[in-house]
Amino acid sequence: MIPTFVIFLREGIEASMIVAILLAYLQRIGKRRHFRDVFWGVASALLLVFGGGVAAFFLIKQYEGSNVQTYFETATYILAAAILTYMTFWMQRHAKGLAQELERRSDLALSKGTRWGLGLLAFQAVGREGLETMVFTLAIVFANSRQASTPVHGNLVLLGAGLGLVAALAVAYAIYMLGAKLNMRKFFRVLGTVLMIFAAGLLADAVENMQQLHWLPFGEHVLWNSSGMVSESSSFGDVLHSLLGYADHPTLLQAFVWIAYVAVSVAFFMRIGRGGPRRDIKSSKSSAASSPNGNPTPAAREV
């Protein structure tokens, strides 16, 4: 429940920001009539992502208990971790220029004189976030279904997704309609760190599958067996597995992959986060110095 809540919260806010930037820009340039094109693009993206996610889930479930299911699950774990890592680092580096990039692409779409241009832009932007969410959610569902395959457990996963989406919409509404203040850089930094810990657990699950398939015939020594104290199939063990990638009998290779991924990715991610503001301040001072009256330019003030 918690991983799906966090991923839907993060991706929901990011998608809401993109849509809000597009709508605000159209309103500012007097093109409100194109709002419907943006809404059609968003609706089409959500419909395609939801339909694709459901179809992929039932396709894989047809092979339940076979090696084919294990192949699919392993590929989903690795793909989800890769996408998650990429999107987290991408947002950390490009968040500041996101609005300018969307406005530039909006101008390009409007200049072509076709009503589908903005809809396609919204479709691509929201569809990308939706695809990332769908892949990661499938990976969470597959990982957790191995621990507890009861309907109640599945309902908790869906509940977490629903609550995360509602919370994302509430935060987006507060930011753009009520004028609430939120440090988005720190917000995405915290959620990005949490999600990379989730991704480490998925990579450990992928390693476990590949060792069971004898694709990685090394590092198979079991470090400990804590199933008697906290089993992965228990409620508490499932929470630890979802949050931290806990395993009650991890192999040496699983532990190495988890520790290496968390150490490298989180350290590099936090380093980028610490370096960003200093570069922004330096750029702002440079812009102010280049302004004829000695005051910061509008671009510098935005920073």
Q: Which domain holds residue 8?
A: 2-302
Distance, in Å, from the CA atom of 72 to the CA atom of 63, rounded to the nearest integer, reads: 9
Question: What pLDDT does residue 6 have?
Answer: 79
What does the CA dihedral 180, 195, 95, 264 come to, rounded to 10 degrees?
140
Cβ atoms of 164 and 5 within 8 Å: the answer is yes
What are the residues whose beta carbons fall under 8 Å from the beta carbon of 76, sequence distance 6 or more? Answer: 60, 135, 138, 139, 142
Name the E strands within the chain. none
Question: What pLDDT does residue 280 have?
Answer: 42
Question: What pLDDT does residue 286 have?
Answer: 43
Q: In order along the chain (303 residues), what is the average pLDDT of each group of 10 residues?
A: 78 81 83 87 90 86 81 88 83 70 80 75 85 83 62 66 83 64 69 83 90 91 91 78 82 95 88 56 40 40 34
Helix (H, G, I), strand (E, B) or coil at 233: coil
Instruction: Indicate the residue type of 79.
Output: L
As to burial, measured by CB atoms within 10 angstroms (0-12 exposed, 13-18 middle, 19+ buried), residue 63 is: middle
**What is the DSSP code string of 90-106?**
HHHHHSTTHHHHHHHHH
Question: What pLDDT does residue 254 have?
Answer: 95
Helix (H, G, I), strand (E, B) or coil at 199: helix
Distance, in Å, from the CA atom of 216 to the CA atom of 256, rounded to the nearest integer, reads: 13
What are the residues whose beta carbons fall under 8 Å from the beta carbon of 249, sequence distance 6 or more? Answer: 222, 224, 225, 226, 227
H or E stretch including 209?
Answer: helix 184-212
In order of 55, 129, 134, 154, 252, the CA distances from 161 in angstroms are 18, 14, 11, 11, 33
Question: What pLDDT does residue 11 have?
Answer: 80
Distance, in Å, from the CA atom of 200 to the CA atom of 302, rounded to the nearest integer, reads: 36
Count of structural domains within the chain: 1
Q: Other C-beta atoms within 10 Å of 157: how many?
A: 20
What are the residues whose beta carbons fall under 8 Å from the beta carbon of 114, sequence distance 6 or more? Answer: none
Question: What pLDDT does residue 182 have?
Answer: 59
Give a three-class secondary structure readout of 153-193. HHHHHHHHHHHHHHHHHHHHHHHHCCCCCCCHHHHHHHHHH
Its pTM stands at: 0.70
